[in-house]
Every structure is written in structure tokens, then in C-alpha cells.
Structure 1
Amino acid sequence: MPQTVIATCAFPGTYDVDKNLDLHLSYIKEAASARASLVVFPETSLQGYPAILDLEKIEDAITKAQRTAESVPDGPTVQRLITAAMKHNIHVVFGLTEAGKQPGILYNTLVLAGPQGYIGSYRKVHLTLGENFIFRPGDHWPVFDTTLGKVGLLICYDKSWPEGCRELTLSGAELLVIGSAWAATLGQGDRENNSAVRRYDLFDRVRALENSRWLISSNFVGEHGGSNFIGFSQIVDPLGGIVVSSGLDHIGVVTAEIDICGGLAGASALYWGPRLIRDRRADTYKVLNGSSPVVVDG
């Protein structure tokens, strides 16, 4: 079966847009040299993840986000990365603070570019408490048709809910691509034993397994904006197995050669065919479909 090289980046975050651009361009070139057809970067990788851990300094984070935000797809730095994707004949997923059409409106956005140029973008749907001070939430789950297969995009906190990945999968996505800014939780264990590492890894594996889809995640690594980001940029197969992971300390690109169609077919065969449609009982999910009231978090 045809093999495809996939790359994902454990990215050292900064708030220097020029430095971040240079890092992107370097890693894109490195991934292309490794024959990768796709390279993935974290959320807000162009400008850095806003320093929202200390809410007393949130005004500074808002000011910086407003100053460095760019429009999609015609922002100057966005255009540089789209051009790089075309030059190196590679698909690239990168994150940025997107300037909306109305002044002051910002989104946490992933952009997908490829050998033919700009393909599309996704705005983060599930925002954390701190992110709500800076960003507006997105409201849809687009799936993009590429030569690699159909790609669905998510951002970080989105993967904490099964519904996002399931929506993308039922819309045809074969590759679930997640850009993250996932940090260690203070006081909840050291290094690989930190609760945030366990959650990150489990969400990646379970979301791949429950949807029988490939999942590629990219995360920041190291100290950035007062947080300690955990890395673990990884590629997960449709049975929930880790194909490759950057681990806790690695900085830069990791790659794996995978059989995209073969992996999907193997997962389908294990479950005696396309179970997500055949065995799904949407008619019984009465709270999800709105016919029964929600009784938690009320």
C-alpha cells in the first residue's frame, strides 16, 4: 500500500513573530527534505500563545494579541507560509491569532495550505476561560479535501469533547489534525506523570480509536508565557496506537511513514465494516439531540 510521510512539530514558543516565522520556514524545509507530505504546527504558533495564566496581566495579553493579529489568508506572515507550502510541495497546518473583519475581533485559528496554495481555515470552537478574554469562538467544523485525504482540524481544548472529532468524522474526515498549546498542570505530578500529560495522551489515543481515524497533534514545548508546555507532538493510528511522539523534551520535527488508506481499512475490518454509521443509535441520544434537558453544569 502507498506510504505517506507525516511530520509534526514540537515547537518552542516565542512572542517574536519574525523569529517564529523563521522557525516555521526552517521546519517546513526540514519536513520537506524528509519527504513529508504534511507538517503540523501548534495553535497560535505564528504569534505565540497568549499569556493568560495570570489574569492580572490579561490586558497586556489582549494588547499584544491585537497588535500582532493577521487576516486570513492575506496577512503578510500567513502569505509567507502559504508560499513556503507551495515552494516545498507540502501541506502545512499552522496556528495564528486571526484578525476578524471587524476591528478588535480576534479568533484562534488554524490554516491549512498545500502545494496549490491556501486551502482553508478553522476557528477554535471550545475556548477556555482565559481565552474568552481574547478570542471569539468559531461555530463550525469544516472538512477539507486534499491529495492526502479529507482533513478535519481541531485546536487543543476542542479534543476534550468527543463531539468535535465525531462531527468531523461523520462529515468525511480521514485525518484529524490538532494544533495545541497544552501545558503542565501545577502541583499535579512531575514530568510524564503530570495529569496534563496523561489527559493529552489519552485524548489523542481515544479520539483516534473511537473514530477509527488517523490523528496528528502538534504542541508547544518548554517555558512560554508563564506556562510549561509538555510537547508530545505525535501521530496516532486509527486503533489508538502511538506511531511516533516527540515526548516531553524534544524540540523540532518528528516524522513517521504511514499507510493512510491501509490504516483506515484495517480499523474498519476489525469492526466488521463501517460501524460508525451501521451501529450508531443517534435516535437514542436524547440529550444530545435536544429532546431531553441537560442536567449537569447547570
Structure 2
Amino acid sequence: MSERNVNVGIVQMSCTKNSEENLIKAIEKVREAAGKGAQIVCLQELFRSLYFCDVEDYDNFKLAEPIPGPSTEALGKLAGELGVVIVASLFEKRAEGLYHNTTAVLDADGSYLGKYRKMHIPDDPGYYEKFYFTPGDTGYRIFDTKFAKIGVLICWDQWYPEAARITTLKGAEMLFYPTAIGWHRSQDDPTNNEQYQAWQTIQRSHSVANGIPVISVNRVGAEGEMNFWGGSFVTNSFGRILYQASHTDEEVHVESLSMTKSNEYRTHWPFLRDRRIDSYDPITKRFLDEDESR
């Protein structure tokens, strides 16, 4: 089998209250990634604004937009001009009073390929996403772009092996995770490190279990009580870290990923072959009570 590589670009950046400034910055950084040879470029979660879910404020719904809409139009033109695929996380207004945390995919010819709506919605101090977002109903999706079949999941989705597995089983050749996650300013360094390592480890495990690269793109900068921890990273098809960004700086990086290594890893570590799909019915239960676990 001849070697096939895809150049993936990550854009790790800070954001301001000015939505248009954030879009302009993202466009500049996509251009920078394309100039470095990127074929697919992923932006961080909700890149057009500050991470507004740290509070429950009805005014924040004004940040939402339709998809397709203004952002996908601007990024579609950019994708077509540069000949790159763009993965763009946006706050979607689906209808009056109905909103989603959604990622749109623009193909290298500028066409809109579709959207994925975030399935797992957190509700924790500093992450009040259930106030804003309706759980996704698109199901897990892959997008057949010019350069690769990609799977897109969003932030809190990254903690769930079921989401990564199903997206892989649908044919994804790599998994993208646009993300917004950080440390509370009052936390100590050991806690910060423990949280980051858990975050990276669970995503690396998806790469190992499924035999495909993972690309996780986070934001940086202080927003409210949160220091977003950056640390965006790229793995190979067996979970090895190929690149990790800093915890504090904006970064644009391009990594070449082998699309032919997945077969090699899956052959030598045949997790997909040995799955006992006949034994997995309990996974659809919320929890197995005592009488159900016997």
C-alpha cells in the first residue's frame, strides 16, 4: 500500500468580547496554517466569542447564528480560496428558543459539507452549557472531505469512548475535538496537572483503541475565573503524541499524519477484530442495578 499523508493544522488562540475581531483573527491564522502546508485546519470550540457558558445570562443567546450562516459563508470563501478544509465550532441558533453547540465542516472547494451537534452537554461550575445548548440530534457523523474522511466531536464528547468508537465505526480516518477547557484560577499546580493529564490520556486512549489519529484543539487565555489551558495536541494512529502546544501561547501548527499506518496498527493490535459485539447490550443502560448485574 502506497503511503498517504494528510497535513493537519491546529489553531490555538485567545478570544475577546468582539466577535468580528475573533473571526478576523481566526481567518488570519487559517491563512497562516495553509501557508505552512495544512490541508485540514481545525479551530477551537466557540472561537467567535469568549467562553460565555461560565455564567447563565440570556443576553449571550444573541451570540448565536444560523448554520449555514455568516460564519460558514466567510469561512467557505476562505476554504475555497486556500484549497483547505476548515472545521469550525459555532453557536447555532436553530430556531426561536432552540440552540446548539455545533461544528460545521467546509470542504476545500468552499462547499458546506454539513454539521455535527454536540451530543454530551456538561453542567458544572463554570461550564453551564445546559442553560444554552440542546443536546445534539445529528448522531455521530463523518465528513468525506477532499483529503480524508474525518470525524468531529466537541469538547465534553471527548470523555466518552462510545462517541469515539461509533464515529470510527462509521469510517472516520481521524478524530477532531474542538475544545474549550481550562483551570480555575484558584487551583494549585498538582490539580492542574492531574486534570490536564486525564484530559489528554482519555483522548489518546481513543486513538489507541480505534487505531486513528486524534487532533484536539483548545483555547488559551484568561477569561473570568478560568485560565484556558491550551495544550492542543496531535497523536499518531496509536496514541503517540506527535505535537503538543504550550499552555499559555497562541499557536498555529501543521502536522503530517499517515493515513496508511492505521491498517498496520489495527493488524498488529486487532481490537476491532476481537470486539465481542454480542456482549455489549448492557452499555445502553444508564447503570446496572443489583438485580440487573447478575
1:144 correspondence with 2:143? yes
Mean CA deviation greater in 281-290 or 115-124:
281-290
Other-structure match for 1:126: 120
Mean CA deviation greater in 151-160 or 2-11:
2-11
| TM-score, with structure 2 as normaliser | 0.90
Q: Secondary structure at the match of 1:283?
A: helix
Q: What does the per-residue CA deviation read over 1:6-30, in whole Å, with 9 as the maximum and x for residues that have no partner?
A: 1111121222111111111101110
1:115 correspondence with 2:131? no
Counterpart of 1:79 (choices 73, 98, 102) is: 73
Deviation at 1:247, TM superposition (A): 2.4
Say whether the 8 Å CA contact 2:13–2:249 is kept in structure 1.
no
Q: Secondary structure at the match of 1:58?
A: coil
Deviation at 1:224, TM superposition (A): 2.1
Alignment RMSD:
2.0
Other-structure match for 1:63: 59
Alpha-carbon distance between aligned partners in 1 of 2:175 and 2:146, rounded to the nearest angstrom? 15
Say whether the 8 Å CA contact 2:209–2:271 is kept in structure 1.
no
Deviation at 1:79, TM superposition (A): 0.9
Counterpart of 2:84 (choices 81, 87, 90) is: 90
Q: Secondary structure at the match of 2:39?
A: strand
Q: How many residues align?
A: 282
Q: Secondary structure at the match of 1:201?
A: helix
Distance 1:270 1:188, change over 3 A: farther
Deviation at 1:293, TM superposition (A): 5.7
- Whichever residue aligns with residue 285 of structure 1, its letter is Y
Q: Secondary structure at the match of 1:288?
A: helix
Alpha-carbon distance between aligned partners in 2 of 1:289 and 1:241, rounded to the nearest angstrom? 31
Counterpart of 2:27 (choices 8, 25, 28) is: 25
Alpha-carbon distance between aligned partners in 2 of 1:172 and 1:2, rounded to the nearest angstrom? 16
Other-structure match for 1:104: 97
Superposition map of 1:1-298 within 5 A: 1-52=3-54, 57-59=55-57, 62-64=58-60, 66-73=61-68, 75-100=69-94, 102-116=95-109, 117-129=111-123, 130-139=128-137, 140-185=139-184, 188-190=187-189, 193-261=192-260, 263-271=261-269, 275-276=271-272, 278-290=273-285, 294-295=288-289
Q: Secondary structure at the match of 2:50?
A: coil
Distance 1:253 1:165, change over 3 A: same
- Whichever residue aligns with residue 70 of structure 1, its letter is E
- Whichever residue aligns with residue 23 of structure 2, its letter is L
Please list every run of 5 or more consecutive structure 2 residues that lacks an aligned counterpart in the other structure: none
- Whichever residue aligns with residue 34 of structure 1, its letter is K
Deviation at 1:47, TM superposition (A): 2.7
Please list every run of 5 or more consecutive structure 1 residues that lacks an aligned counterpart in the other structure: none
Alpha-carbon distance between aligned partners in 1 of 2:160 and 2:12, rounded to the nearest angstrom? 23
Q: What does the per-residue CA deviation read over 1:174-231, in whole Å, with 9 as the maximum and x for residues that have no partner?
A: 1101100011256554189533211221122111111111111100112124311110
Distance 1:123 1:161, change over 3 A: same
Percent of aligned positions that are identical: 29
- Whichever residue aligns with residue 63 of structure 2, its letter is T
- Whichever residue aligns with residue 93 of structure 1, its letter is V
Distance 1:143 1:222, change over 3 A: same
Say whether the 8 Å CA contact 2:185–2:226 is kept in structure 1.
no
